[in-house]
Amino acid sequence: MTLTRRHFLSATALTAAAISIPAPAVLGATKEKKYRVALVGSGGMGKNNLYSAITTKTVETVALVDVDRKHCESGFEMVKKNTGEEPKLFNDHQEMLEAVKPDIVIVATPEHWHPLITIDACNAGAHVYLEKPISHTVNEGIAMLKIARETGRTVQVGTHRRCSTAGIAAKKYIKEGNIGKIGMVRAFVHYTAWGGKDKPAPDVPTPEGLDWDRWCGPAPLVPFNPKIHPGGFRQFLNYGTGQLGDWGTHWMDMILWIMDDQEQFPSSVASSGGRFLWRDNTDAPDTQSALYRFDNYMVEWEHRCYAGNAPEKEHIGVYFYGTKGTVHIGDGTWCVFKNQNKDAAPETPETPNNEGNIQVLWRNFISCIENKQKPICDIEHGHRATTMALLGMVSLKLGRSIAWNGEKQTIPNDPEAVKLLSREYRNPWKYPQ
Ligand X SMILES: NC(=O)c1ccc[n+]([C@@H]2O[C@H](COP(=O)([O-])OP(=O)(O)OC[C@H]3O[C@@H](n4cnc5c(N)ncnc54)[C@H](O)[C@@H]3O)[C@@H](O)[C@H]2O)c1
Interface residues with ligand X (CB under 6 A)? 40-46, 65-68, 71, 93, 108-111, 113, 131-132, 158, 160, 214-215, 217, 229-231, 246
CB atoms within 10 A of CB 110: 26
Tell me whether residue 26 or residue 193 sits nearer to ligand X (CB atom).
Answer: 193
| Residue with smallest beta-carbon separation from ligand X | 43
**Taking the complex as a whole, how short is the minimal distance between the CB of residue 65 and ligand X, in angstroms?**
5
**Taking the complex as a whole, how short is the minimal distance between the CB of residue 90 and ligand X, in angstroms?**
8
Question: Which of 93, 127, 118, 108 has its CA nearest to residue 43?
Answer: 108
**Taking the complex as a whole, how short is the minimal distance between the CB of residue 210 and ligand X, in angstroms?**
7
What amino acid occupies position 50? Answer: L
**Taking the complex as a whole, how short is the minimal distance between the CB of residue 68 and ligand X, in angstroms?**
4
Q: Point out which residues pair with 65 in neighbouring strands.
A: 40, 90
Tell me whether residue 110 or residue 266 sits nearer to ligand X (CB atom).
Answer: 110
C-alpha to C-alpha distance for 21 and 53, rounded to whole angstroms: 13
Write the CB contacts of 374 (distance below 8 Å, at least 6 apart in sequence).
154, 368, 380
Write the CB contacts of 143 (distance below 8 Å, at least 6 apart in sequence).
115, 119, 432, 433
**Taking the complex as a whole, how short is the minimal distance between the CB of residue 71 and ligand X, in angstroms?**
4
Tell me whether residue 60 or residue 111 sits nearer to ligand X (CB atom).
Answer: 111
**Taking the complex as a whole, how short is the minimal distance between the CB of residue 51 and ligand X, in angstroms?**
12
C-alpha to C-alpha distance for 305 and 194, rounded to whole angstroms: 7
Residue pair 93/68 in contact by the 8 Å Cβ criterion: no
Residue pair 128/105 in contact by the 8 Å Cβ criterion: yes
Question: Which of 60, 68, 63 has its CA nearest to residue 87?
Answer: 63
